[in-house]
Structure 1
Amino acid sequence: MLREGLKMSPDEGQEELEEVQAELKKKDEEFQRTKLLNGPGDVETGTSITVPQKKWLHFISPIFVQALTLTFLAEWGDRSQLTTIVLAAREDPYGVAVGGTVGHCLCTGLAVIGGRMIAQKISVRTVTIIGGIVFLAFAFSALFISPDSVF
């Protein structure tokens, strides 16, 4: 991670942010055009032109399914998952499971709530370098601190 971070340009993530914003704008415009073309339906009868949905979609939002799938696929086999596996093998697996879940929830929550602001203030390069330093710190602590030692 340190090597990747040091090789990155300072504005590496800015291009991706701009791509996502352009794609969202395009989808919003497409949605508005579709809405205008289909019309509001018959106001007097209260009917509208809708696509029939399956019953399970009433309980599960499509954005929920998309976010779940995206997060699962993005996290599968990455450094944080591998590090969690090593930590769980070395320490209490229940504590690692709870700590990993809470940590991921906090990180994802921070990304959802302040993602745009953070992306404009902190570069991907900085986050990658900090992540590399944290991984090295945990590696050294695993080398020199016994799992049985109590602080």
Structure 2
Amino acid sequence: MGLSLLEGFTKSLAMTVLSEIGDKTFFAAAILAMRHPRRFVLTGCLTALTVMTILSAVLGWAAPNLISRKWTHNITTVLFFGFGLWSIWEGFTEEGEAEELKEVEAKLGAEWKADSGVAKRNSEKEDDSKKQRRRFLTQFFSPIFLQAFSITFFGEWGDKSQIATIGLAADANPFGVVLGGILGQALCTTAAVLGGKSLASQISEKMVALSSGLLFLVFGLQSLLATIGGS
């Protein structure tokens, strides 16, 4: 059990760090932190990623109870090889962080423009007592926190790293996968909030994609060669 826990932890940590550096949610956290208080952005993004990691691990843990262990192991192996080849292909063919950054900036820019118009209209109608109530409530339900949470949560849904987390949890200790995933997400998100845009500009997106692709292929090969207990 100890080795399984350590294996799930290390695989999840490595996979998360290499998958999340320079992706859309990484840039979203970086851009949000440039315009809003970092503590709200960081807590919103981390809460969303923690929830997503736990949900993914639960799905992976439940999978062997729904279908046979042999099938979940084989599906996980195929996913690892598929994601490995996909990441390597992305590393050689896509333009990298520049396109990701432009896409995220455009999306957030449109949202901010819409939000500022709504806020302006609302501010003209609010009296002093409503403003005071709103300031009190936003300490507990910050719109910045909610924006960071929603952008991160829905941005990660169906993402390669989420599906890989499900596969890892189906084939390794899910508790270790959760711990490794949360730590990896915390490291990446903290780096993004503290200076992700400048950090990402100094990191080769091609090298990150190729490294994550090779890591997935190693996971796939290890899974292929592993003995399936109880199959």
* TM-score of Structure 1 vs Structure 2, range by shorter chain: 0.5 to 0.7
Question: Higher helix fraction: Structure 1 or Structure 2?
Answer: 2
**Who is 2:207 aligned against?**
126
Q: For residues 213 and 94 of structure 2, what CA distance do their matches in structure 1 show?
A: 13
**Who is 1:41 aligned against?**
none
Change (3 A) 1:69 1:123: same
Tell me, what secondary structure is at the counterpart of 2:134?
coil
What TM-score results when the alignment is normalised by the length of structure 2? 0.46
How much has 1:17 moved relative to structure 2?
3.8
**Who is 2:165 aligned against?**
84
1:13 pairs with 2:94: no
Q: For residues 105 and 146 of structure 1, what CA distance do their matches in structure 2 show?
A: 33
**Who is 2:186 aligned against?**
105
**Who is 1:74 aligned against?**
155
Letter in 2 for 1:82: I
Change (3 A) 1:111 1:118: same
How much has 1:117 moved relative to structure 2?
2.2
Q: For residues 194 and 153 of structure 2, what CA distance do their matches in structure 1 show?
A: 20
1:117 pairs with 2:201: no
How much has 1:15 moved relative to structure 2?
5.1
**Who is 1:140 aligned against?**
221
1:60 pairs with 2:141: yes
What root-mean-square deviation, in Å, do the aligned CA atoms of Structure 1 and Structure 2 show?
3.6
Q: For residues 188 and 227 of structure 2, what CA distance do their matches in structure 1 show?
A: 28
Deviations 1:109-130 (A, max 9, x none): 1222231222221233332222
Query: Is the 1:75–1:81 Cα contact (8 Å) retained in structure 2?
Result: yes
Consecutive unaligned residues in structure 2, runs of 5 or more: 1-86
Q: For residues 182 and 155 of structure 2, what CA distance do their matches in structure 1 show?
A: 15
Query: Is the 1:90–1:147 Cα contact (8 Å) retained in structure 2?
Result: no
Change (3 A) 1:99 1:147: farther
How much has 1:51 moved relative to structure 2?
8.3
Consecutive unaligned residues in structure 1, runs of 5 or more: 39-46
**Who is 1:43 aligned against?**
none
Query: Is the 1:87–1:96 Cα contact (8 Å) retained in structure 2?
Result: yes
How much has 1:65 moved relative to structure 2?
1.0
Q: For residues 163 and 175 of structure 2, what CA distance do their matches in structure 1 show?
A: 16
